Amino acid sequence: MPLDRRWIAAHIPHQGAMCLLDEVLEWNATDISCRTASHRLPGNPLRTRGHLQAICAIEYAAQAIALHGAVNSAASGVGPGMLASVRAVDLQADRLDDIAGDLTVRATRIGGDETALLYSFSVSSEQQLVASGRGTIVLRSAATASRADGSAN
């Protein structure tokens, strides 16, 4: 069953217009697929000089990765993390805002341990690849997360 924008906003730190994904289409222990039309919105907060550059696909992928963690958190025991690096990024377009179709954002967990995770990602529209690459997520320990959330002294 797809998860809608309301569910997404409740499970990632990005709120309002910065919550870029509209729907989680499907997921399992290693993969997630999301859909969005936010790249066409004039009020997209990532626009600069009226355009949404293709490099912003990395933020779309990072939010899909965060959602993968959210939908699997109970089963995996993995806590929150942050995007530490991206590598092998291949952009097949200059801009996202001139793509007419919805974007499909996919992420696949390809490795990791209790300190970091490695994902591959792709952003496409109507079977046309727009961007791809790999991202490293550094995980916060339970103690670090509770201090950051203010729940420990």
For 9-67, what is each residue's pLDDT tens digit? 999 888 999 999 999 999 999 999 999 999 999 999 999 999 999 999 999 999 999 99
* pTM: predicted TM-score of the whole model, two decimal places: 0.88
**Rounded mean pLDDT of 96-107?**
97
DSSP for residue 48: B
Boundaries of every domain in the chain: 3-148
- How far is Cα of residue 135 from the mean position of the Cα atoms in its chain? 10
CATH number for the domain running over 3-148: 3.10.129.10
- Tell me the percentage of the chain whose pLDDT exceeds 90: 78
Q: How far apart are CA 71 and CA 94, in angstroms?
A: 32
H runs (alpha helix) in 21-141: 57-76
Q: Is the pLDDT of residue 144 over 50?
A: no
Pairing of strands 128-139, 116-125: antiparallel
Beta-carbon contacts of residue 28 (< 8 Å; ≥ 6 apart): none
Torsion angle in degrees (nearest 10) through CA of 58, 70, 23, 52: -20
Q: What does the pLDDT read at residue 77?
A: 55
Beta-carbon contacts of residue 151 (< 8 Å; ≥ 6 apart): none
Q: Bigger pLDDT: 150 or 69? A: 69
Q: How far apart are CA 73 and CA 6, in angstroms?
A: 18
pLDDT tens-digit readout, 80-94 = 789 999 999 999 999
Q: How far apart are CA 129 and CA 72, in angstroms?
A: 26
- Tell me the percentage of the chain whose pLDDT exceeds 70: 87
Q: Bigger pLDDT: 24 or 140? A: 24
Identify which of 34, 134, 131 has the alpha carbon closest to the alpha carbon of residue 85. Answer: 134
The per-residue pLDDT of the chain, averaged, comes to 89
Residue 73: band (very low, low, confident or very high) from pLDDT cuts 50, 70, 90: confident
